[in-house]
């Protein structure tokens, strides 16, 4: 993050005057921001505030990794986007918005998934990585790639009302790197134990709070002003407005020598290796409804999702499906659905393994597919 040869135009001096007025920050700090290259992985809940504030602050080169498109359900917290952006590329839309906010910066879009095959190639040109991902395989991948490439990893995560922030792999005064994510979490939780934000929810303002703290840590790392959260984990609970800061200790046994199969490491079975389940399309399901045939419909979503929209099925959330074998008919067709078809397929596999059912059908695409293709009066969420 050398700022040799970096200069600020009169327009930039005026724009960043509130930074420059800080005695310990001043022009030199602003030049360091302009010289910096920061990669933000994910432009969603956390990525939105991180990108907005880093762009506004004058980080000279920002990279965005995201292959997703904007969805209506994003807009409750992903403040980079508007209703006009629904269906568009998040990364490309983010670039347009950020350059409208600050035309004096450069932005590179990586409209791709971040994988073990491209991770090191993508991050090699950046100084600092801000991890705005929402799943364990990618968090471990980001961490390991940063350790192998010698990059600082500014980490944050959110769930419901709680958030956490830390700075991993930070070089100390002696040049030794600080703790990384694996020193904090050597092993991932069992698959399905921690629901994602789509299943467990997140209060919309939380990523704004935590993402802003994450952006603050990036600016501290880049400028050298202040003491980054290296060796510390900051915890915030919005519901009780309490905070804690825990110490993170390096584990000498933590060894990272190569990028691995992170889905496998986190116990996630690849889709192609999962037991196939019988499917019914939303069109065939509608025809079945209209025919008056006798069938059982089970909804394995959460109660709050049922309130958003439902197909009048019997609600048995996925985490209670194993104990509900006696509630499910064996003498007629049983159709099981969730939001998109993934949880219902998992429910069918579990029921078939436990009770040897042979009459279970997964509604392809879930209630969202039904809402898009059959009954457009139902909300898609």
Using 50, 70 and 90 to split pLDDT, how confident is the model at 17? very high
More confident residue, 41 or 191: 41
Q: What is the mean pLDDT of residues 155-176?
A: 94
Q: Which residues pair with 243 in a beta bridge?
A: 236
Q: What is the pLDDT of residues 124-148, one digit of tens each?
A: 999 999 999 989 999 999 999 999 9
Q: Which pLDDT band, with edges at 50, 70 and 90, does 59 fall under?
A: very high
pLDDT score for 183: 96
> What is the pLDDT, as a whole number, of residue 109?
98
Judged against a pLDDT cut of 70, whether residue 272 lies above it is answered with no
Report which of residues 230 and 175 the model is more confident about: 230
* Residues 224, 32 contacting (CB under 8 angstroms): yes
Mean pLDDT on 351-368: 95
1 pLDDT above the threshold of 60: no
Provide mean pLDDT across the span 63-86. Answer: 95
Residue 146 annotated in active site: no
The pTM for the full model equals: 0.80
For the cut 70, the answer to whether the pLDDT of residue 47 exceeds it is yes
The single residue of 197, 222, 321, 367 carrying the catalytic annotation is: 197
Answer for the pair 181, 168: CB distance below 8 angstroms, yes or no.
yes
* Pairing mode, strands 279-280 and 242-247: unpaired
Look-up of token digits 């909300």: 379
**E strands, the chain, in order:** 37-41, 61-65, 106-110, 128-131, 152-159, 162-168, 232-237, 242-247, 279-280, 295-299, 314-315, 333-337, 360-363
- Candidate from 75-89, 90-104, 183-197, 270-284 with smallest mean pLDDT: 183-197
Q: What domains sit in the chain, N to C, each tagged with a CATH number?
A: 36-271 (3.40.50.720), 274-373 (3.40.250.10)
Percent with pLDDT over 90 in the chain = 86
CA distances from 346 to 259, 333, 337, 342, 361 (A): 28, 18, 10, 6, 12
Per-residue pLDDT at 266 exceeds 90: no
Catalytic residue, from 94, 210, 338, 367: name it: 338
What would the mean pLDDT of 59-65 be, rounded to a whole number?
A: 98
Report the alpha-carbon distance of residue 41 to residue 65 in Å, rounded: 5
Residue 280 has pLDDT above 80, yes or no: yes
- Say what the pLDDT of residue 199 is: 64
pLDDT above 90 for 197: no
Is residue 4 predicted with pLDDT exceeding 70?
A: no
Each residue's pLDDT tens digit, 112-122: 999 999 999 99
pLDDT of 46 over the 90 cut: yes
Average pLDDT of the chain? 93
Alpha carbons 59 and 31: distance in angstroms, whole number: 9
Mean pLDDT for 215-224 is 98
Mean pLDDT of 48-74: 96
318 pLDDT higher than 70: yes
């Amino acid at each position: 993050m050398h700022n040799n040869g970096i200069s600020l135009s009169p327009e930039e001096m005026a724009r960043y005057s509130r930074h420059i007025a800080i005695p310990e920050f001043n022009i030199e700090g602003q030049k360091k921001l302009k010289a910096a290259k920061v990669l933000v992985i994910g432009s969603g809940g956390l990525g939105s505030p991180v990108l907005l504030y880093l762009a506004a602050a004058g980080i000279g080169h920002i990279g965005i990794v995201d292959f997703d498109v904007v969805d209506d359900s994003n807009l409750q917290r992903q403040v980079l986007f508007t209703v006009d952006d629904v269906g568009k590329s998040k990364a490309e839309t983010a670039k347009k918005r950020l350059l409208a906010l600050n035309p004096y910066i450069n932005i590179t879009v990586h409209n791709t998934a971040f994988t073990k095959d491209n991770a090191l190639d993508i991050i090699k040109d950046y100084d600092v990585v801000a991890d705005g991902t929402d799943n364990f395989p990618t968090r471990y991948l980001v961490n390991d790639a940063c350790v192998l490439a010698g990059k600082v990893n500014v980490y944050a995560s959110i769930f419901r009302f709680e958030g956490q922030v830390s700075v991993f792999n930070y070089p100390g005064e002696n040049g030794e790197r600080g703790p990384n994510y694996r020193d904090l979490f050597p092993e991932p939780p069992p698959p399905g134990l921690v629901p994602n934000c789509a299943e467990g929810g997140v209060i919309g303002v939380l990523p704004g709070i935590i993402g802003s703290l994450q952006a603050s840590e990036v600016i501290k790392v880049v400028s050298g002003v202040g003491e980054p959260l290296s060796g510390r984990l900051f915890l915030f609970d919005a519901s009780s407005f309490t905070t804690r800061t825990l110490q993170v200790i390096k584990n000498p046994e933590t060894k990272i020598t190569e990028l691995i199969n992170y889905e496998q490491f986190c116990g996630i079975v690849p889709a192609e290796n999962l037991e196939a389940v019988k499917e019914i399309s939303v069109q065939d399901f509608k025809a079945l409804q209209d025919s008056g045939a006798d069938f059982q419909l089970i909804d394995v979503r959460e109660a709050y999702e049922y309130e958003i929209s439902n197909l009048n099925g019997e609600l048995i959330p996925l985490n209670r499906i194993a104990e509900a074998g006696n509630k499910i008919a064996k003498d007629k067709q049983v159709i099981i659905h969730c939001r998109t078809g993934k949880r219902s397929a998992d429910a069918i596999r579990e029921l078939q393994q436990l009770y040897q059912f042979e009459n279970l059908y997964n509604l392809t695409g879930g209630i969202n597919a039904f809402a898009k293709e059959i009954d457009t009066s139902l909300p898609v969420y």
